[in-house]
Amino acid sequence: MSTNQKNKALDWGITIIGILAIAFLAGALIIANFFPKVPFSVVTGLRYGGFVAIALFVIGSGVQNKDFLKDMAGRRTTQNGANSLVLTIAVLAIIGLLNWFGTRYHHRADLTSNQQFSLSPQSKQIVKGLKDELKLTAFVRNGDQQGRQLKDLMAEYGYVTDKLKLEMIDPDREPGKVKLFFESHPTASQRANVLMVENAGKLTEAQGVTEQEITAAILKATQTKQLNVYFLTGHGELDMDGFQQEGMSQAKQSLEKQNYKVQKLSLFETKNTIPADCDVLVVAGPRQALMPQELKTVEEFVKKGGKLYAMLAPGANSGLEKLLSEYGITAENDLVVDPRANLFGDAAVPVVQTYPSHAITQGLRPTIYPAARSLTLGTAPSGVTVTSLAEASDMSFSKRNLKDRSADFNAAVDKKGPVKLAVAATTTASGSVKASRLLAVGNAQFVANGFYSGAGNGDFFVNSVNWLAEQDNLVSIPAKDNAPKQLFLTNQQQNTIFLATVAGAPAAMLFAGGFVWWRRRRS
């Protein structure tokens, strides 16, 4: 057989192989889409046959055109093109490898100031500890901003645990699913952008779509007992339900979102009896002294392992001072003054920016204490541990003469700081008696609506209640929102900004200009 005949036969063979490759792949595509009853193995066989035919077609074409390819390979343009092709393939391979690792080893960095797109360590701890699978049903309308935020947040939970199964239902597009759900759960509220947590048939509705509210709903769905917080009334305390600046409605709402049942307690109405289900007793700034029998009731409650949150109003004798002294805490009859770290230059409104190490204060933002009295630590009785939680700056002092309205330090009367503003005490459990926990703050206004959300006051209050209730897994789940933030500057910070911008910058420019003028005159 001559060379021309061999080449012609090879051409025919390559053409037939190419036709077979097209036929095999087209047949696999047609059968897969239009003939579902044909066994899948037939489709797979046709695909593999097509791939083999393509490989043979490429090899045959290379053999048939080897002289042309050899000539092309020797050209400079071909070599440059080959180098570019190899470089392109290498870059694509690196990108593909990075994506492959990315799908298996997930890590992201959240650079927002308040970690808006990351779960808090406490939420991660809670969901990692889930033993049973929870079903989460969210009713979200397509395109709704809150719905998008909820989807992003639920993705964060999904990165931490596989125990949460989320179903998103659009009420407008899937009315049948909505009807079926509420027929099965007739007590659930029918509203948009709501999340339902279901655990073994028990349905819990999240109060909102923030991390705090979702984590609280998860806790509520998995806990068998709801904790109770009682606010003492009848002695001029802050109003738990008040919406005005002096009220505590924001604090109450925060506790309810943490799955606490919040109630008022009048010892006069209960005949000096604290309910047995009281997990935390809050006394928020009483202006009148408690009656002796009331004080005895509170004292017995603490001694039996109760948890007390005492907020002491300055200039008022509540009677709790004697109880606190028995645990090594002395409430001074004074006013805390801080010329360095204060709010808008008011030395009587100290701002705490750093904290002693404690579970309550980890990661806490600055807190504000308007018109506060100080607390000092005495010798704690045996079995009692007392810890400072919040202290004013080292420039602060305890003003003992309350009739003196000046902010000047009087060495003959006043006591130098740093002054303590909040103190915690714990006792050791003994036999059948549980360990007691007390937390005293020399101020109650810090938790009022006017100061609750402007700084870290709200977080400090909720952390304190969680610690008192021994809910350590809930301590410091910070609130995250996109609301405009207020910037509280201390007097020292205001002076620094003024000197750096209003006075410092012009002075630097004048100095630079004068220096240039002087150099030119000398030259």
Quick: pLDDT tens for 13-25.
Answer: 878 887 888 888 8
Amino acid at residue number 316: A
- For residue 450, what are the CA distances in angstroms to 363, 425, 454? 22, 28, 8
pLDDT for the residue numbered 440 = 97
pLDDT for the residue numbered 154 = 82
**With contact defined as beta carbons under 8 Å apart, do 423 and 328 qualify?**
no
Summarize pLDDT for 123-144 with one digit per residue, the tens: 888 888 888 889 888 887 777 7
**With contact defined as beta carbons under 8 Å apart, do 270 and 254 qualify?**
no
Higher pLDDT, 114 or 44: 44
* Start-end of H helices in 129-169: 145-160
Is 80 exceeded by the pLDDT of residue 420?
yes
pLDDT for the residue numbered 92 = 78
Summarize pLDDT for 333-361 with one digit per residue, the tens: 999 999 999 998 899 999 999 899 898 99
Is 80 exceeded by the pLDDT of residue 95?
no
**With contact defined as beta carbons under 8 Å apart, do 17 and 56 qualify?**
yes
Is 80 exceeded by the pLDDT of residue 450?
yes
Is 60 exceeded by the pLDDT of residue 275?
yes
pLDDT for the residue numbered 515 = 72
Confidence of residue 243 (pLDDT cuts 50, 70, 90): confident
Confidence of residue 240 (pLDDT cuts 50, 70, 90): very high
* Start-end of H helices in 65-174: 66-73, 76-104, 121-128, 145-160
Compute the average pLDDT of residues 310-326: 93
Confidence of residue 36 (pLDDT cuts 50, 70, 90): low
pLDDT for the residue numbered 279 = 96
Question: In whole angstroms, what is the distance from residue 160 CA to residue 164 CA?
Answer: 10
Confidence of residue 306 (pLDDT cuts 50, 70, 90): very high
The token duo for 377 is 């630590």
Is 90 exceeded by the pLDDT of residue 290?
yes
pLDDT for the residue numbered 209 = 75
pLDDT for the residue numbered 179 = 86
Confidence of residue 430 (pLDDT cuts 50, 70, 90): confident
Summarize pLDDT for 192-223 with one digit per residue, the tens: 667 888 888 778 877 677 787 788 788 878 87
The token duo for 238 is 């802050």
**Which of 8-17, 86-95, 406-415 shows the highest mean pLDDT?**
406-415
pLDDT for the residue numbered 336 = 95
pTM value is: 0.63
Compute the average pLDDT of residues 465-489: 68
Q: What mean pLDDT, rounded, does the chain reach?
A: 83
pLDDT for the residue numbered 193 = 67
The token duo for 321 is 């001072």
Please report, rounded to a whole number, the percentage of residues in the chain having pLDDT higher than 70. Answer: 84
**With contact defined as beta carbons under 8 Å apart, do 442 and 456 qualify?**
no
Confidence of residue 268 (pLDDT cuts 50, 70, 90): very high
**With contact defined as beta carbons under 8 Å apart, do 242 and 449 qualify?**
yes
pLDDT for the residue numbered 280 = 97
Compute the average pLDDT of residues 107-119: 63
Confidence of residue 147 (pLDDT cuts 50, 70, 90): confident
Question: In whole angstroms, what is the distance from residue 136 CA to residue 123 CA?
Answer: 16
Poorest-confidence range of 154-168, 228-242, 344-358, 476-490? 476-490
Closest by CA position to 443, among listed 389, 489, 485: 389
Is 90 exceeded by the pLDDT of residue 519?
no
The token duo for 456 is 């870290």
Residue carrying the six token digits 């028990």: 202
- For residue 364, what are the CA distances in angstroms to 389, 465, 475? 11, 15, 11
Is 70 exceeded by the pLDDT of residue 170?
yes
**Which of 70-84, 98-112, 274-288 shows the highest mean pLDDT?**
274-288
pLDDT for the residue numbered 192 = 63
Closest by CA position to 231, among listed 241, 216, 243, 245: 241
Is 70 exceeded by the pLDDT of residue 383?
yes
Compute the average pLDDT of residues 96-119: 64
Confidence of residue 107 (pLDDT cuts 50, 70, 90): low
Higher pLDDT, 2 or 393: 393
Compute the average pLDDT of residues 428-444: 93
Question: In whole angstroms, what is the distance from residue 178 CA to residue 198 CA?
Answer: 15
Higher pLDDT, 396 or 167: 396
pLDDT for the residue numbered 82 = 64
Please report, rounded to a whole number, the percentage of residues in the chain having pLDDT higher than 90. Answer: 36
Q: Cβ contacts of residue 450 below 8 Å, gap of 6+?
A: 245, 246
Higher pLDDT, 320 or 246: 320
Is 90 exceeded by the pLDDT of residue 65?
no
